[in-house]
Chains A and B, each alone.
Chain A
Amino acid sequence: MSLIRKTAAELGTMVASGEVTAVEVAEAHLDRMAEVEPKVNAFLHVDRETTLEQARAVDARLRAGEKLGPLAGVPIAHKDIFTTRDMPTTAASKILKGWRPPYDATVTARLRAAGLVILGKTNLDEFAMGSSTENSAYGTTRNPWDLSRVPGGSSGGSSAAVAAYEAPLSTGTDTGGSIRQPASVTGIVGMKPTYGGSSRYGLIAFASSLDTPGPFARNVLDAALLHEAFSGHDPMDSTSIDAPVPSVVEAARTPDVAGMRIGVVKEFSGEGYQPGVLARYHEAVQLLESLGAKVVEVSCPSFLTALPAYYLIAPSECSSNLARFDAMRYGLRVGDDGTRSAEEVMALTRAAGFGPEVKRRIMLGTYALSSGYYDAYYGQAQKVRTVISREFEAAFHQVDVLVSPTTPTTAFPIGERADDPMAMYLADLCTIPSNLAGNAAMSVPVGLADEDGLPVGLQIMAPVLADDRCYRVGAAVEQALESRWGGPLLKEAPSL
């Protein structure tokens, strides 16, 4: 089997044993990228030489006897919202075109320390605002299952790269579903760790109380290995949790749900959901029951107000965070002809540098935070956030995990929702509650919808710092389904 079809765990073992070198593994993936990138467009920045230089350094460290982790020599696609010293970082925005950050994000630094080899920076919706990657200033990414469809978003470049076998692993960030929804619509595994479980230092901020870095992989164990490699306390992030990383790798190796209590979220089903999504979802729930889990229905009525609450809280935080793009210290500057004031240059630059969705959200957030509207909008949304957290808490007294579809539909056609923000926002209906409450949540593939043959994901939600439960349940679902399918779901994908 060619190197690009191997799992990350297999590649790590092969590199460690000396069966292949990190350079050979990187080259195989760079060749695959050269072949399929014209179709998929998952990457914003690729630099073969920088990547091979990293791979050579990993080989040298291993030869010198340095003890590296299980992913040493494994290539990874890195979302272009994490700063990288040796590659441009743009957040898919024109305002940061060509920017070379003077420092590495903590996630980037930990990938390097673990010996992972960065293949390039992946495409996203500008500043991670979107659910399709269509909001990128540098063109959309295409879904490897059907090139006329979106790969989800905002981390759509990262999901597409892994689904297209350009990389065995990738990083994402999840603010309202930006890891789980793209994983779901591309048939791969995506995990949003507990908020504060992975560092935001060097992650270009969108909504600081929600932004959470997490892994993408083609299987649950690989996701766990990556999760473990970059998570854990970071003194550079004041909201980082000072607690051990949940034992996610061990959980991924324990695909056993016997006796577990699983809650089916009553509100996330029915009208508005694609029939093929519901069919696979209900089968997955039955599967868990047949594996010995105790399944009960749980009602969480406030989850239906999570979407409006999120579209007040996230834009409010974004309007504040994106004020830093002021045309003064880095990034684009437009209209500085010697006659204009700093404020005029700022307004011209931001108008030229931000795309429509970013402008919409900045203005919406500015509105929600205005005096006279604050209590009715931002203040009330914060109270709804408390209500949602309390409903999660009550639910987790009854059950060990909650499940739902990850997203109401399969991948939608490129262009279908591009000019209809409200339709686009619905893609995150089921994922947003876990961002507001900060708990762990995963998407695992559970089959293809009958009507369009596209992947469907199951969302598994676990309490704060119980990330391991997502991996345990995810691994059980994966093992049972793969034995039924005779291999991973991705073998059904077109070969590109």
Chain B
Amino acid sequence: MSAITRDEVAHLARLSRLALTDDELDHYATQLDAIIESVAKVAEVAAEDVPPSSHALPLTNVFRADEVQPGLAPEQALSGAPAVEDDRFRVPRILGEEA
């Protein structure tokens, strides 16, 4: 029995915003199946009563003083943009035709 099906991998690719080819989906389905089977070993550790750690160190939220500080100028912020119009990021349409 496989841990993950090709259809599930296609769904993951959609969620991940990766336009994969059919060949790629076949390839990743096989590889992800092997990887998931292997990482499933975490279940063997008895850890029911153990709290999860999202982080190695105890963390508290950190705030800086609410003071105005210099930031990037518009031309700096836009310097790596694929497309720019009127000092703004130019992007493809975000809403569907029917919207």
Contacts and interface: CB of A to CB of B under 8 A. Distances in A.
Nearest to B8: A367
Interface in A354-381: 354, 359-360, 362-364, 366-368, 370, 376-377, 379-381
A344 B35 CA distance: 28
Interface in B10-63: 12-20, 24, 28, 31-32, 34-36, 38-45, 47, 50-57, 59, 61-62
Contact of B56 (A327, A343, A438): A438
A364 B8 CA distance: 11
Nearest to B41: A308
Interface stretch (A15-23, A54-62, A158-166, A233-241): A233-241
B36 A367 contact: yes
Contacts of B59: 239
Given A99-B80, A342-B94, A385-B52, A422 B38 contact: yes
A239 B18 CA distance: 31
Given A359-B28, A363-B12, A383 B36 contact: no
A319 B32 CA distance: 15
A383 B72 contact: no
A384 to B, nearest CB: 5
A340 B39 contact: no
Nearest to A378: B52
B34 A387 contact: no
A422 B32 CA distance: 10
Contact of A238 (B52, B61, B72): B61
Given A363-B32, A383-B51, A389 B56 contact: yes
Interface residues of A, number: 72
B57 A241 contact: yes
B93 A342 contact: yes
Contacts of A360: 28, 31-32, 35
A235 B62 CA distance: 9
**Residue of A302, A328, A464 with highest tally of chain B CB at under 10 A:** A328
Interface stretch (A114-122, A198-206, A330-338, A396-404): A330-338
A196 interface: yes
Interface stretch (A66-74, A215-223, A345-353, A441-449): A345-353
A382 interface: yes
Given A328-B91, A360-B32, A382-B52, A312 B20 contact: no
Interface string A298-328: 0000100100110110000001000100111
A99 B81 CA distance: 9
A311 B39 contact: yes
A115 B8 CA distance: 52
Given A421-B31, A438-B57, 8 more contacts: A100-B80, A196-B57, A308-B38, A329-B81, A329-B89, A382-B53, A383-B53, A385-B56
19 contacts: A101-B80, A102-B76, A102-B80, A195-B57, A311-B39, A329-B81, A336-B82, A340-B92, A344-B92, A346-B17, A347-B18, A348-B19, A350-B16, A364-B35, A370-B12, A380-B42, A380-B47, A381-B42, A422-B34
Interface of B: 4, 8-9, 12-20, 24, 28, 31-32, 34-36, 38-45, 47, 50-57, 59, 61-62, 64, 72, 76-77, 79-83, 89, 91-94, 96
